[in-house]
Structure 1
């Protein structure tokens, strides 16, 4: 009886050993096959399907993954740096250098500079621009920099709100961009004296050989012209790419075109963000009396003579100088 039981035990052991070995071999063979298939997929191997859409015979568009890596490794950190990095740089610069004060103080005489319509279209473009920057930051970089530190419910609400605001602010931004580009371009043409303005950094440096320098400037100085043309060019790119992404059913872009549009949209957003931070700091903090221009449309006479002397001389000579009553 013992011999029979021992024989059965040996048989059962041998059965399970052979079965396990067979399963192991099958798993190894299956793993090798899956590895070969995945390698072929990454190389762009094509198959057969009943689909009639673009790239219907390609299982996976591997360049999608490269765009995602570009977003996580370059675009998201660059946008964070363009916003928060520039803010930090300007805070340190102001702490070390100080602001550009009016040497003669405020005169109390307010000179007409911008019409109410100009002020309106400035804010038509500026307010949506800032909302697009903040919501775009969430959409591009939020997954990598914000999501790990907040709850899933808060993150879902934040992303949903950002997407809605981003979509709805796109049209007013494009309208403001178009009006500003068309109507303001005539005062933004480069002049030879702009080079001298750049060489002394506009007179905003309060130490060393730059201190006390006040270079010539027309209606717009060289820095404002740089900002204007950057805004005009990259605003065009961001508007065109944004339309493709916002209305895919209307324009029906290909998968490749959509991905290119996404990259161009992000790069343009990074550049506009960096310039916007500079523009905001220069208007609100660095230039004493500068913000008043885009609030009332008027500027102090001493501000005009210190920062835009050629323009002020011109309007005095041609009789278009107007003071606020």
Structure 2
């Protein structure tokens, strides 16, 4: 009988310990769930930080922004870059390029100063690097990462982030100088309407063939590109400063997300226009690239594409040839 009582006592003790351990195991879990629920609901704590939302333990975001990034912005920047390249390649294959009707004259007309050429490349080179690294940062995880190893992807995304951050400042300087210095030659004129109607004379078939509408120092297409670059470049610079220097500007989380979306949308637009600009300068317009290499253009190119400007510099005596 005594042995039975001892066995029963041991069994009850073990059962009690089991219940106690079970309750002990459940308590932290319940406590953790309660704690994270409170944190997500905005429970505040104590910290020595003086920044915005310094007493909030974790950041909370509107998940619609991340859905917008993956569902719309990432595919859009891919289409802006690679889609526009494909469109232009097909267009040139069907239409051909805009050749100089009289061939190259051999006489080079001064068009841009060395300083202007330097300003152009100060903005252009960082812009290209920002487009490529921005493409990686915005869309890389959806289009590139699945096909790369983890080590390669980590190195690529880290390099893209560093280049993107360091190229931001020279781009801003280039954007500012181009906008301020070149705006006077980019004002819309009535003859720009006809230029747009005839697509600048770059169509080599149908009623557009052989048509070269009037253009001043800048044609309507160049003016459209300039003001697009000026406007959306401003948005990129302003939003980029907020994202690049959060410790200085201390934007709220809402403002940071808005800046991220505006930055991405503006980058997509500038990317698409940049592809058009690059193709027009390097491939589509025979002799056009020389302008931003040496600052001079062939006389036949000037009379064919910018006749009003060429007539103006002849009349006012500022026409200068390369010696």
CA-based RMSD of the aligned residues comes to: 2.7
Find the aligned partners of 1:69 and 1:60 in 2 and give their Cα distance.
20
Q: Distance in 1 between matches of 2:110 and 2:263?
A: 37
| Counterpart selection for 2:293 from 288, 292, 295 | 295
* CA shift digits 1:15-57 (9 cap, x unpaired): 9xxx9xx99xx9xxx8xxx7xx97x998xx4445335864578
Question: Whole-Å Cα distance in 2 between the matches of residues 116 and 261 of structure 1?
Answer: 35
Secondary structure, aligned partner of 2:62? helix
Superposition deviation, residue 254 in structure 1: 1.1
For residue 243 of structure 1, the aligned residue among 225, 238, 241 is 241
Query: Which residue pairs with 1:305 in the alignment?
Result: 303
1:158 and 2:159 aligned:
no
Aligned length: 303
Scaled by the length of structure 1, the TM-score of the pair is 0.85
- CA distance in 1: counterparts of 2:208 and 2:242, whole angstroms: 46
Partners of 2:45 and 2:205 lie apart in 1 by 70
Deviation at 1:76, TM superposition (A): 0.6
Q: Do residues 208 (structure 1) and 199 (structure 2) align?
A: no
**CA displacement, residues 188-239 of structure 1 (integer Å, 9 cap, x when unaligned):** 0000000000001001001111111100000000000000000011111101
* Alpha-carbon offset, residue 282 of structure 1: 0.1
Which of these residues, 125, 128, 140, is aligned with residue 127 of structure 1? Answer: 125
Q: How far apart, CA to CA, are the structure 1 residues paired with 2:91 and 2:67?
A: 34
2:262 is equivalent to residue 264 of structure 1: yes
Taking the aligned partners of 2:102 and 2:179, their CA distance within structure 1 comes to: 34
CA distance in 1, matches of 2:151, 2:44: 41
Q: Find the residue that maps to 2:158 and give its secondary structure.
A: helix
**Superposed, which structure 2 residues align to 1:35-46 within 5 Å?**
45-46=41-42
**TM superposition score normalised by structure 2:** 0.86
Q: Distance in 1 between matches of 2:267 and 2:168?
A: 12
Matches within 5 A, 1:267-278: 267-278=265-276
The answer to whether the 8 A contact 2:242-2:249 is kept is yes
SS at match of 1:299: strand
